[in-house]
Amino acid sequence: MPYINIKVTDEQVTMKQKQQLIEGTTQLLVDILNKDPQTTHVVIEEIALGNWGHNGKQYLGTKTNRNEK
């Protein structure tokens, strides 16, 4: 039973985008690993930007102003 956990920043990911992520990720496992989509689970976690960091720095605000200061 494959379990996929997708973590994205909390920046208004739409339900349609989430559905596309779930469908695409499931299909990827079917195509590459020959997994059964009936037993494939996908979880999407939205992480607040303040709880996300990269290159030793905490993201601040939105993508347009993160890492300023």
Asked if residue 52 lies in contact with residue 58, where contact means CB atoms within 8 angstroms, the answer is: yes
Which of the residues 1, 2, 36, 64 is marked catalytic?
2
Q: Which of the 8 DSSP states describes residue 11?
A: S
E-assigned strands of 1-69?
A: 3-9, 41-47, 53-54, 57-58
Known catalytic residue at 37 = no
Known catalytic residues are 2
